[in-house]
Structure 1
Amino acid sequence: MTAKVKYSDVEVGTEIPAQTYQIDRLNLVMYAGASGDFNPIHWRESFATQVGLPNVIAHGMYTMAQGGRFVTDWVGDPGAVVDYGVRFSAPVVVPDEGGAALEISGKVEQKLDDNKVVVALTARSNDQKVLTRAKAVVRLA
């Protein structure tokens, strides 16, 4: 698959429109099965609150994966991501009723050689930044 976003079409400061990803408990159970991370803070409310959390929280790696999804959806090619990293700054709290909304936006921060760009991501849930230093290096067409 070839990236649909062209290097010549982006500049430093190019904004990638925000996307909102709904997260519910079923997503967390499915992710637990795929990842092997069955920590009960991700699916059992009584346990999560007993250890001091406000409710069930999404897996950090699930939250990070949604950032990767955002970038690959934008560029149109999952293989275009050369490097990707984040820091977790707050959990995504996922109540049983209504779940959670994770809003991710991005901006081209830097143009590099070999048709690569650095995309800085912003991820927020419940009016709180949940990822910091979230950056992806992406090779464009």
Structure 2
Amino acid sequence: MTDTVKYDDIEVGQQIPAVDYNVRRLNLVMYAGASGDFNQIHWNERFAKMVGLPDVIAHGMYTMAQAGRFVTDWAGDPGAVVDFGVRFSSMVVVPDDDEGATVSVSGVVEEKLADKRVVVQLTAKSGDARVLSKARAVVQLA
């Protein structure tokens, strides 16, 4: 865990450097077990292609969770996120190889609010595709 980010040290427009999260099929199988979402498009390549997808795709909520992880790691406090929302705008295609896929998440402090809260606008991409849009978190800082 990083040091806790302090409200007084943050400026509007401050960039939060990107972090890459590797996604392998094993991660999707583990997430399916935790979430109860066993839809075959998330683990069965043959089925995913049969329904018109390019390959197995990550769960949208798994992708969202990586963005949430990015924010909590940055804030240094897993309970710091008080509001979080995204729209799913593209798929994270996860090939069956050692590399899998990568979701890259970055952020910018968009606004400082009262009560030591900040609004963080997030960008999440896999390859050239933006996989989350309208992604933002309200974060309670120390």
Q: Does the alignment reach a TM-score above 0.5? A: yes
Distance, in Å, in 2 between the alignment partners of 1:113 and 1:95 is 44
Distance, in Å, in 2 between the alignment partners of 1:11 and 1:76 is 17
TM superposition shift of 1:137: 0.1
Query: Is 2:113 the partner of 1:133?
Result: no
**SS at structure 1 position matched to 2:110:** strand
Distance, in Å, in 1 between the alignment partners of 2:52 and 2:29 is 21
1:29-68 residue CA offsets vs partner (Å, 9 max, x unmatched) = 0000000000000000000000000000000000000000
Q: Following TM superposition, where does structure 1 have runs of at least 4 consecutive aligned residues deviating by more than 3 angstroms?
A: none
Superposition map of 1:81-100 within 5 A? 81-97=81-97, 98-100=99-101
Pairwise CA RMSD: 0.7
Whichever residue aligns with residue 132 of structure 2, its letter is L
Superposition map of 1:60-71 within 5 A? 60-71=60-71
Query: Is 2:51 the partner of 1:51?
Result: yes
- 1:25 matched to which residue of 2? 25
Distance, in Å, in 2 between the alignment partners of 1:9 and 1:48 is 46
Query: TM-score of the superposition, structure 1-length normalised?
Result: 0.97
- 1:105 matched to which residue of 2? 106
**SS at structure 2 position matched to 1:79:** coil
TM superposition shift of 1:78: 1.0
Query: Is 2:7 the partner of 1:7?
Result: yes
Unaligned runs of 5+ in 2: none
Whichever residue aligns with residue 102 of structure 2, its letter is A
TM superposition shift of 1:73: 0.3
**SS at structure 2 position matched to 1:69:** helix
**SS at structure 2 position matched to 1:74:** helix
Whichever residue aligns with residue 16 of structure 1, its letter is I
Identity level (%): 70
Unaligned runs of 5+ in 1: none
**SS at structure 1 position matched to 2:114:** coil
Distance, in Å, in 2 between the alignment partners of 1:114 and 1:64 is 26
